[in-house]
Chain A
Amino acid sequence: MATATAQPAKDEALLELQRRMLRQMLLVRRFEEKAAEAYALGKIGGFCHLYIGQEAVAAGSLAALRDDDYVICSYREHGQALVRGVPANAVMAELFGKATGCSRGKGGSMHLFDVSRRFMGGHAIVGGHIPLAAGLGFAIKYRGGDQVCLCYFGEAAVNIGVFHEALNMASVWKLPIIFCCENNRYGMGTAFERVAAVTDVVEHACSYDMAAELVNGMDAMAVYGATERAAERARKTGHPTLLEVRTYRFMGHSMSDPLHGVYRTKEEVEEQKKRDPISQLALKLKEEGALDGPALDALDAEVRAVVEAAVQFADQSPDPDLAELTSHVLVE
């Protein structure tokens, strides 16, 4: 029977998807650990916001996208850039401020761009890129396309007025956007419940007559499923979706901040680490017989080598030429 033969193939495709996501999440984890080291050594300057703990969100959601879809992010976007396929070399070189970086060393950690992958940037004013996502969605609709725009932001951006302006316009104009709120509980050092009257972000969708879903952000497959449903809705009906993806960052807000202390306890962080999305996915694959210890070790070794090479590439790359100071202010 057709179903009898189709089922194992589907299962195998799902397992392959999960192995791919596991690799992406491991790559992000090892990359961010190296970025932390490089920051401590002074090789990365400015602000540097790490994604450790939240890897399942980028891996799960981006797996549901096509190459011609748009992606736009806040300033905590190393993970999304890597999962979207921006080479680790180009991302690390950008953090190092080098000419070979994905933004030619002029953007840095918070402004990673790769237009060839429709990766439309990291943006560093909280909430400021949410209407840009609406504009990308508007352009898709204007041209009659069936692409979607996936927009990531933190829960703290929900308190910004332009979040509400953008969701309203996206809904009233039926723009194909997935608003992906990565709720990691803290806006820098402020717990969301201390500053938000409505703490379930997903509830805001009803103000804008928008579809919404609450998602376990520590489960890459759950994120994948929810994003896939939202993408299908956007492609078929043009309607936007608000996803609230509950996650947790294991690091401080930026490299300048402590992991815990005045705003959250060490015990809380340790408790959350038991939900580590990478360990969970690896365990699941092991239980399903799709991955064994040596295979996981090999995967880890492979991504560590990629990251090590990226650090060497960034180290050896030249600084931008001084003439770059005045280029790209305007299109000449």
Chain B
Amino acid sequence: MPTLTYRDALNQALREEMQRDPSVFLMGEEVGVYQGAYKVSRGLLEEFGPMRVVDTPIAELGFAGVGVGAAMAGLRPVIEFMTWNFAVLALDQIVNSAAKILYESGGQVPIPIVFRGPNGAALQLAAQHSQAWESWLAHIPGLKVVAPATPADAKGLLKAAIRDDNPVIVLEGEMLYNTKGDVPEGEHVVPIGKADVKRAGTDVTLICHSKTVVPALKAAEQLQEQGVSAEVVDLRSLRPMDEETLVASVVKTNRCVVAEEGWPHCGIGAQVVDIIQREAFDSLDAPVLRVTQADVPMPYNKQLERAAKPSPEKIVAAARRVCYLD
């Protein structure tokens, strides 16, 4: 199986879907001539031309709306945001148009659109450029939200998102673009709504998604050295959420830590904990703990930033606490 970067896996998904379906087009800032701010769209303008790889002005609300309008007419737009921090400007179109038009039209107007781009913090980009928006987006009925962690999932979930007849949010990770992994060639579609057990274990479940899968896997290795067998469950899809897989894991391990890049208050982890307390209450041997970004705007200083972010060490510490080792 070929080894690809996360970036190139996304590129492959876009290219294959644009070859497969002439109604798929890519629109966003710097996607064409510049080849993508993060080079996800490299080579696509040359292959598909400017009508299908469309450079936009810096007008997130406007071009998000253009995408929704094109979807109303039956096209399948992929709208790239340079980062999700800028997509906050486009939330009216995502929330009030994309997510609602099917419902308020009584089912007449499907919106088959993908909104994608990097989400969460990179390195020292400070408060306005270092935010994880998934709990905002996953809150909205009418949207699907996925957050792939590996190159294979990035390809498979983006292909699934483009083929879906609903608005799908694809949250990528700026720090993940260079990570490498095996990626199946050709037809590789990961169904939306399915979590993935990235590492099997018996003593504690570590639930994570997107960029926190990497520190969770590192934490599991460290815990193994300490005699604790951790199972790592990658949610992959945040809406719908695969309750069955995560509950099955907690029923097996009886202990759980939820890690995410976002802030703690009303975060994705809060939703996960709600599911676990409801569906696995009798299986729990300890309260579920959460590892999140510190409840502050992201600082610029490198040490402060490191202190604010989830890390393998923080996940290990939380796992040891739910195992009553500390």
Question: Which A residues are within 8 Å of any B CB, using their own CB?
Answer: 70, 72, 101-107, 111, 113-115, 120-121, 123, 125, 128-142, 161-162, 165-166, 168-169, 172-173, 327-331
> Given A123-B97, A134-B65 in contact, is the A105-B106 Cβ separation under 8 Å?
yes
Residues of B within 8 A of A136 (CB): 69-70, 72-73
Closest chain B residue to A136 by CB distance?
Answer: B69
Determine the chain A residues whose CB is within 8 A of the CB of B68 once the complex forms. 131-132, 135
On whether the beta carbons of A166 and B66 are closer than 8 Å, the reply is yes
Which of chain A's residues have a CB closer than 8 A to the CB of B69? 72, 131-139
Q: Are B104 and A121 in contact (CB under 8 A)?
A: yes
Which of B31-39, B51-59, B224-232, B287-295 touches A?
B51-59
Instruction: Name which residue of chain B comes closest to A107, CB basis.
Output: B104
Q: Are B105 and A115 touching (Cβ within 8 A)?
A: yes
- Chain A residues in 8 Å Cβ range of B65: 128, 130-132, 134-135, 162, 165-166
- Cα distance A70–B73 when bound, in Å? 9
Kindly state the separation between the CA atoms of A145 and B106 in the bound complex, as whole angstroms: 27
B132-144 CB mask vs A (1 if < 8 Å, else 0) is 0000000001101
Minimum CB distance partner of A123 in chain B: B97
Given A165-B59, A165-B62, residue A120 in contact with residue B106 (CB < 8 A):
no
B62 pairs with A121, CB closer than 8 A: no
B244 within 8 A of A: no
Nearest-neighbour CB distance to chain A for B123, whole angstroms, equals: 31
Does chain A have a CB within 8 A of B3? no
B62 CB contact (under 8 Å) in A72, A106, A131? A131
The distance from the CB of B292 to the nearest CB of chain A, in whole angstroms, is 28
A-B contact pairs, 22 of them (CB 8 A): A101-B106, A104-B106, A113-B108, A113-B109, A114-B108, A123-B97, A128-B65, A128-B97, A132-B66, A134-B66, A135-B68, A138-B66, A138-B69, A139-B69, A142-B51, A161-B61, A165-B59, A168-B59, A327-B107, A328-B103, A330-B166, A331-B102
Q: Is the CB of A107 within 8 A of B106?
A: yes
Size of interface on B: residues with Cβ below 8 Å to A? 42
A73 CB, min distance to chain B CBs, angstroms: 13
B189 within 8 A of A: no
Q: Are B142 and A135 in contact (CB under 8 A)?
A: no
A322 to chain B, nearest CB (A): 15
Given contacts A120-B109, A165-B57, contact A132 B97 (CB under 8 A): yes
B96, A128: Cβ atoms under 8 Å?
yes
> Which chain B residues have a beta carbon within 8 Å of chain A's beta carbons?
25, 51, 54, 56-57, 59, 61-75, 77, 92-93, 96-97, 101-110, 112, 141-142, 144, 165-166
Please, which residue of chain B has its CB at the minimum distance from the CB of A141? B51
- Give bound CA distance, A105 to B103, whole Å: 10
Do A330 and B144 touch across chains, with their CB atoms under 8 A apart? yes
Residues of B near A327 (CB, < 8 A) are 107
**B102 proximity list for chain A (CB < 8 A):** 328-331
Residues in chain A near residue B59, CB distance under 8 A: 165, 168-169
Query: In the complex the two chains form, is A139's CB within 8 Å of B75's CB?
Result: yes
Q: A103-B106, A169-B56, A329-B102 are known; give 12 further A-B pairs, CB within 8 A.
A: A106-B106, A115-B105, A131-B61, A131-B62, A132-B72, A134-B69, A135-B77, A161-B61, A162-B61, A165-B62, A330-B166, A331-B112
How far is A125 from B96 in the complex, measured between Cα atoms in Å? 8
Q: Are B109 and A115 in contact (CB under 8 A)?
A: yes
Which listed residue (A121, A165, A169, A330) contacts B142, Cβ 8 A?
A330
Q: How far is the CB of B324 from chain A (nearest CB, A)?
A: 42
Report which residue of B72, B106, B142 has the largest number of chain A beta carbons within 10 angstroms of its beta carbon. Answer: B106
- Residue of B57, B70, B110 touching A168 (CB-CB under 8 A): B57
B62 near A103: Cβ-Cβ < 8 Å: no
Contact A125 B92 (CB under 8 A): yes
**Cβ-neighbour of B93 out of A131, A133, A168 (below 8 A):** A131
Q: CB-CB < 8 A to B141: which residues of A?
A: 329
Which of A72, A104, A121, A331 makes the CB contact (< 8 A) with B165? Answer: A331
Residues of A with C-beta under 8 A to B106:
101-107, 113, 328
Q: Are B67 and A135 in contact (CB under 8 A)?
A: yes
